[in-house]
With several copies, the nearest count.
Chain A
Amino acid sequence: MGSYLPSTAGQKRQMLEAVGVSQIEALYDNVPASIRLDGLDLAPGLSEMEVSAQMCALADKNHVFHTIFRGAGAYDHYIPAIVERVCNKEEFLTAYTPYQAEISQGILQSIFEYQTMICELTGMDASNASVYDGASAAAEAVAMCRDRKRNRALVSAAAHPAVIQTIQTYCAGADAEVALIPTKDGRTDLDALRAMLCDTDACVYLQQPNFYGNLEDAEATGAAAHEAGAKFILGIHPIAAAILKSPRECGADIAVGEGQPLGMPLAFGGPYLGFMACTQALFRKLPGRIVGETVDAADERCFVLTLQAREQHIRREKASSNICSNQALCAMRAAVYLAAMGSQGLQKAAQLSYAKAHYLAEELEKIGFPRRYPGAFFQEFVTETPLPAEQILAKLEAHDILGGYPVEGGILWCTTEKNTKAQIDALVGLLKEVCA
């Protein structure tokens, strides 16, 4: 019964008459009779009240954990209230790609501001308007580096598994090769990388911090790649980037990452945000929408979609990417988030996440959960467990805590600025109890 149709039966009759057909079905004359439907095998429509009740019941079937110590690609960072408020504005929500610059300055300027912030975060020269998520950003970055001579991508096995899978899938599509760089002690094995690199390698992809939360020697990795004539792609965590060496400082040609921590809710995996930035030398190869500054007929500064000659609607089969719709509203969320945090705030979020992880690691060490890998880490780390991980995690779940993510040989714990000392102490107390 639900409907968003303004037309009344009477108006439809008037319109049919104006069109010159007697009934609405006649508009479908071109549809072969053999495939015209009698109706769909679906329940009848419902009223808004019923749909609301059904959908709320579905939401209620999920459990929202009170406390979260799990990251592994999706992070429970604090989302300032202003982010939701701004991005809920219907003007932003219900517009499409800003093709008509004259009535789209709001979106164009917000993307230009986003691009600037991503450049600042990464230290790069140019950013696009966003791609689907961090994993597809990594895959698109690999595609940017390939040419006829260099067709293989070397990807750190310590990157997020979904990122690796996505790069593999994209490369398989393009009949390009992917080789995994093995890990050693939870980090990319630099010696192995150096041994693998050859002159048909297009790029090296490294994630910093890596999937296990460990900090990599990104500069050395980049240097190795460049020595072999390959490009260096660095995948980063955008909040960690506030205090970690920037991709620029690490020598990256392309920086990519998952923008979810910048104000996007966990939302069962999406919508998230893929950000991509690169050096001046590469910007014409960036896929997706890009906003540029120009002036209007009155010589006032304004913004437009630009460099469209790269894109599919112009180049068609010669385009290097097919992306058009992206994650514009998520990019706006990120921009509002970064504007609200400012440099100090973002550094604080990073520093708090870091300090809390180190406090947790220390406390866990004391009760028999030693760290599995040595060396520096950021907000995530793997510990061994005195009992099977599943058993431990189930106990935590019963106390409304989503514990770390079970990985081979242990648990991958994560903290953000949201995890208070009280929460951490409670977690440790509970674990102690479980394992006693």
Chain B
Amino acid sequence: MNLLFEKSVPGRACTLLPDCDVPNAALPEQFARQQPLHLPELSETDISRHYTELSKRVHGVNDGFYPLGSCTMKYNPALNEEIAALPGFTGIHPLQPEYTAQGCMEVLAEAERILCAVTGMEAMTFQPAAGAHGEFTGLLLIKAYHRSRGDLQRTKILVPDSAHGTNPASATMTGFEVVNVPSSPDGCVDLDALRKAAGPDTAGLMLTNPNTLGLFDKNILEITRIVHEAGGLNYYDGANLNAVMGVARPGDMGFDVVHLNLHKTFSTPHGGGGPGSGAVGVKDLLVPFLPNRHVVEKDGHYTFEDAEQTIGSVKAFYGNFLVVVRALCYMKMLGGDGMRDAAQTAVLNANYLKKLLEPYCDAATPGLCMHEFVLTMEHLKKETGVSAMDVAKSMLDYGMHPPTMYFPLIVPEALMFEPTETESKETLDWAAQTIAEILERAHTDPESLHAAPTRTPIRRPDEVRAARTPKLRYSFDA
């Protein structure tokens, strides 16, 4: 379909703004733009139809099953959107006097209170805008902590090899050196390797638990003890909190700092890639370093305060506030029991789907899983030439979003499924049957899988060409 720019007609416009009602004032010539500005010229009908057409070329959670591993694509409640659109939230200037924004501040304080109870933490900041931003913030806190003690030798962050790519990248951004810790054959952290890696240069460990294989590390208490004993701190990547909320708390597992993806675990929509919220919770020892503008309650009145040795700002103001509003709605709906129910059901759904699929393909790990699991198409590929990619692309033709492909890196031809708790048994049954059919077709008609998808708005894109000859914007000269 055409681009907005290709639909543009010179002279066409929406009539949005009034004429000037004050004496005109002329911008001094030396500041004035000379370069032409090509924005599309369109009527409201054009715009509305353009985006309506685009909306039909998107698959969201509301369009169907979306078991994208590690992304927790659960249903986004309608109430959240209704509440986040209230003028009493959207119309508040971030710098208006605190006494006129007590409701917003209470939202932050209340969300903090609940999330601290869920994670076993002491305080929480909402400034980080996404999970990776939360990791960065958490590592800055760890860094500040060691510095404040004059413990300057701690330059290394331990990261298991099953970690999300953001973990090592965040460590690097924070000036740390990354030490990869291998997994043992059962998919958990290799304790011996960890013991070897941990030492006086260890600033901390970053761990996702349940990990990216969907396993709760049974040695979790030992792991965090090893790091603590080496003088390091433990960082919990909350990407997978949905498996354990209400069941076990990172704080009780021995973690000192945790980030949460409010847009994953707490049902706020992903918006095609954001905005998210990477709230960071900390234990007592890290409270003095929290990002600035932390909400504090005194006698029912809320104020912003800066921590004594604050790391400063990781962005302007207080974070993606409206995302926190949505998460608070969700948490109030569920309450403590509801969160536990949600987690347990997410785990049940994953195990059920895994069980349904196991007759047709290989799981990366045997037995029970948490909220997600990984399949490997290694054998399939050897036998039929059909790759994980082919299987995933075939799923597109059935109106199903594929699982995460080729992750975690330690599993060859990986497909990582996270069905979430808001999917019904009917949907899981249907998905399993559909995937089974695809896998069967891999043997009988592998070509059809290489050629998939065929019923989608476009066929497989040429990604190599995109990267080799980058065209990153529309060219008006062409």
A and B touch in the complex (CB under 8 A): yes
* Given A95-B60, A421-B22, A113:B3 Cβ within 8 A: yes
Contact size range, B: 35 or more
A268 touches B89 (CB 8 A): yes
B35 touches A248 (CB 8 A): yes
Residues 7 to 47 of chain B near chain A (Cβ within 8 Å): 9-25, 27-28, 31-35, 37-47
User: CA of A349 to CA of B1 in the docked complex: distance in angstroms?
Assistant: 30
The answer to the question of B129 belonging to the interface, with a C-beta cut-off of 8 Å to chain A, is yes
User: CA of A184 to CA of B246 in the docked complex: distance in angstroms?
Assistant: 56
A167-189 to B contact mask, C-beta < 8 Å, 1/0: 01110111100000000000000
Chain A residue nearest to B14 (CB atoms) is: A340
A19 touches B274 (CB 8 A): no
The answer to the question of B194 belonging to the interface, with a C-beta cut-off of 8 Å to chain A, is no
The answer to the question of A351 belonging to the interface, with a C-beta cut-off of 8 Å to chain B, is yes
* Given A49-B17, A105-B57, A116:B316 Cβ within 8 A: no
The answer to the question of B325 belonging to the interface, with a C-beta cut-off of 8 Å to chain A, is yes
Say how far B71's CB is from chain A's closest CB, in angstroms. 6
User: CA of A341 to CA of B15 in the docked complex: distance in angstroms?
Assistant: 8
The answer to the question of B321 belonging to the interface, with a C-beta cut-off of 8 Å to chain A, is yes
* Given A11-B9, A351-B20, A339:B47 Cβ within 8 A: yes
The answer to the question of A367 belonging to the interface, with a C-beta cut-off of 8 Å to chain B, is no
Q: Which residues of A contact B44 (CB under 8 A)?
A: 4, 82, 340
A88-132 to B contact mask, C-beta < 8 Å, 1/0: 111111111111111111110110110111011101011101101
User: CA of A6 to CA of B426 in the docked complex: distance in angstroms?
Assistant: 10
Q: Which residues of B contact A18 (CB under 8 A)?
A: 352, 355-356
Residues 345 to 397 of chain A near chain B (Cβ within 8 Å): 345-349, 351-352, 354-356, 358-359, 376, 393, 397
A107 touches B322 (CB 8 A): no
The answer to the question of B265 belonging to the interface, with a C-beta cut-off of 8 Å to chain A, is no
User: CA of A82 to CA of B20 in the docked complex: distance in angstroms?
Assistant: 23
Partner of B393, one of A102, A127, A292: A102
Q: Which residues of B contact A267 (CB under 8 A)?
A: 89-90, 92, 321-322
Chain A residue nearest to B220 (CB atoms) is: A32
B347 touches A109 (CB 8 A): no
User: CA of A283 to CA of B276 in the docked complex: distance in angstroms?
Assistant: 25
The answer to the question of A198 belonging to the interface, with a C-beta cut-off of 8 Å to chain B, is no
User: CA of A114 to CA of B216 in the docked complex: distance in angstroms?
Assistant: 41
The answer to the question of B345 belonging to the interface, with a C-beta cut-off of 8 Å to chain A, is yes
The answer to the question of B271 belonging to the interface, with a C-beta cut-off of 8 Å to chain A, is yes
Chain B residue nearest to A121 (CB atoms) is: B37
* Given A121-B37, A268-B101, A359:B25 Cβ within 8 A: yes
Partner of A346, one of B39, B118, B131, B396: B39
* Given A292-B472, A397-B100, A322:B136 Cβ within 8 A: yes
The answer to the question of A70 belonging to the interface, with a C-beta cut-off of 8 Å to chain B, is yes
A39-63 to B contact mask, C-beta < 8 Å, 1/0: 1111111111111101111111111
A106 touches B248 (CB 8 A): no
A169 touches B344 (CB 8 A): no
* Given A322-B170, A342-B41, A289:B97 Cβ within 8 A: no
B292 touches A61 (CB 8 A): no
Residues 171 to 206 of chain B near chain A (Cβ within 8 Å): 171-175, 178
B86 touches A270 (CB 8 A): no
Q: Which residues of B contact A74 (CB under 8 A)?
A: 93-95, 317
Residues 14 to 49 of chain A near chain B (Cβ within 8 Å): 14-16, 18-21, 24-25, 27-32, 34-37, 39-49
* Given A244-B27, A325-B274, A6:B43 Cβ within 8 A: yes
Say how far A123's CB is from chain B's closest CB, in angstroms. 5
The answer to the question of B473 belonging to the interface, with a C-beta cut-off of 8 Å to chain A, is yes
User: CA of A88 to CA of B322 in the docked complex: distance in angstroms?
Assistant: 14
Q: Which residues of B contact A91 (CB under 8 A)?
A: 52, 55-56, 58-60, 62-63
Chain A residue nearest to B316 (CB atoms) is: A162
B218 touches A30 (CB 8 A): yes
Say how far A206's CB is from chain B's closest CB, in angstroms. 14
User: CA of A94 to CA of B40 in the docked complex: distance in angstroms?
Assistant: 25
* Given A2-B334, A6-B46, A336-B51, A123:B272 Cβ within 8 A: no
B307-328 to A contact mask, C-beta < 8 Å, 1/0: 0000111111111111101001
B263 touches A48 (CB 8 A): no
Partner of A46, one of B263, B332, B368, B423: B332
B18 touches A291 (CB 8 A): no
A343 touches B81 (CB 8 A): no
Q: Which residues of B contact A295 (CB under 8 A)?
A: 461-462, 465
* Given A2-B333, A39-B336, A94-B60, A317:B17 Cβ within 8 A: no
A102 touches B453 (CB 8 A): yes
Q: Which residues of B contact A68 (CB under 8 A)?
A: 93
Partner of B95, one of A28, A73, A84, A342: A73
Query: Given known contacts A15-B425, A55-B325, A268-B317, what 20 new A-B pairs fall within 8 Å (CB)?
Result: A21-B368, A31-B247, A40-B339, A41-B117, A46-B18, A62-B88, A81-B78, A91-B58, A97-B270, A105-B54, A113-B3, A245-B32, A290-B472, A309-B467, A316-B169, A317-B168, A322-B132, A338-B40, A343-B41, A421-B21
- In order of increasing CB-CB distance, the 7 nearest A-B pairs are A59-B88, A269-B317, A2-B333, A45-B335, A61-B103, A329-B271, A40-B336
